[in-house]
Amino acid sequence: MKMSGLFCRQDYVIIKIMKKRVIVAMSGGVDSSVAAALLQKQGYEVIGITMCFNLADASGKKPSCCGITGIEDARSVAHKLGIKHYVLNLQKVFNKEVILDFCRQYLSGKTPNPCVRCNQFIKFDALLKKSLALGAAFMATGHYAKIEKTSAGYLLKKARDPKKDQSYFLYCLGQKQLKHILFPLGDYAKADIRILAKELALPVADKLDSQEICFLPDNNYRDFLSKFAQASIKPGEILGQAGNILGSHRGAAFYTIGQRRGLGISSRKPLYVTEIKDKSNQIIVGPQKEAFKKSFLVKDLHYVNRPFKKKIEIKARIRYNQKESSAGIFPVKNKIKVIFKEPQFAITPGQSAVFYSQDAVLGGGIIEKIL
């Protein structure tokens, strides 16, 4: 009997040791909260970490996520689930890799995507490294995407819910990262997550989704730039397609390709920004048809599995809220030339171009210039 009892006790200890630890990036929102709950129900040892960036907008207003409100909401969820919760200050790396790049890109006539940068350098680099250092086998987030393991490696795939799919923002993930990442929400629709949150009585079940960039609580990047880069923003000329002066602008950083409103010039027909010349500080405008282009160059390439070595036909997406369109891609040294079969509206330097094969992400990069 004693031997039997000892065996059972040792067996229990072995099971406890084998229980895999996962760090969940908890923003205080409903998605990451349900992600933590799902993993706990699956038997993982779940630890929540909320990233803190000490952010404030130009007026001093704190954001609801990555700030005090987000931290307190995440802590209350962790308490409800009975899991450990910690706050990790990543202000230094966030300022360097996201904030400074955000300002630098706008000042050079580009339109950056800070969420892609945050995923690349903060969540799936700095936080992932911290998670592994804490003895975790995995790090998880509330992203709507899926990871599939195959004999050829890991695939990054679209989420089940096309309206919430966030695979576009994750193209920088490679094999070394994917093997340590979990996306528990990939097979759920957003409506399912709300229902689960209420069934689990999570304190954030009715919390609204954030629709803004975390360091722009009012979603006004112009106010942000006015505070942090005002000395570099200067008025300039607005030119027509023929080079004629139509008016003046407040600063090229305040405009983006495809913009129609807020140009401050009168015209019998609608005019759109078709080009931003940062060196001469000029903005070119024209009719909508001039904002449709087919060819562009992509730099800073990342591949989920393996690089492209020859021309192939794929689907490409040039912004998050746009469907993929058929295109041919042509490797050119360390860049890629993309040619859409049909012209696309407002191909924008600074934004990400992401390449797909059916529902799998192949990779992507930053749009350098329109050809």
Asked whether the beta carbons of 284 and 239 are under 8 A apart, the reply is yes
Picking from 108, 106, 126, the residue whose alpha carbon sits closest to that of residue 52 is 126
- At residue 201, φ and ψ (nearest 5 deg) are 55, 40
Task: Find the catalytic residue in 66, 115, 118, 172.
Answer: 118
Give the sign of the dihedral formed by CA 256, CA 257, CA 262, CA 265: positive
Task: Find the catalytic residue in 103, 115, 172, 214.
Answer: 214
Which amino acid belongs to residue 151? Answer: S
172 is catalytic: no
Asked whether the beta carbons of 147 and 178 are under 8 A apart, the reply is yes
Residue 63 DSSP one-character state: P
Picking from 90, 77, 79, 88, the residue whose alpha carbon sits closest to that of residue 32 is 77
Distance (Å, whole) CA 299 – CA 286? 27
Asked whether the beta carbons of 176 and 124 are under 8 A apart, the reply is no
103 is catalytic: no
Tokens of 244: 């004629």
Burial class (CB in 10 A: 0-12, 13-18, 19+), 295: middle
> Annotated catalytic sites, by residue?
118, 214
